[in-house]
Amino acid sequence: MKVAKVGAEEFEEEVLRSELPVLVDFYAEWCPPCFVIAKTLRELAEEYEGRVKFVKVDIDENRELAREYEVFSVPTLAFFSRGELVDGVVGAVSKEVLRRKLDNLLNGRR
């Protein structure tokens, strides 16, 4: 499964109004750790298909979104449920850490 790229125009519909929980990958093309975690996110998108939506937002193309969600370092992964930011993590963390956060997101825990 592909992790869809969204911009400011699609963010409200794809993230804030999503029926599914959403993991947003705030990234930049010039960021080596962003490329490292991209493969992990694609694998997790397959694993959680139909249960969690995965999207990515280029911070250089969407500076207002990055500012609104206080993205000061990339990659920043933001977890949304019912339009609310409920969790986040900065950096290229392990698949196990992300899986635990996704499971918590699905179970309504933080």
Catalytically active residues, by annotation: 31, 34
Torsion (CA) 107, 66, 14, 55 in degrees, nearest 10: -70
Give, rounded to a whole angstrom, the gap between the first and last alpha carbons of the chain: 25
User: Widest CA span of the chain, in angstroms?
Assistant: 34
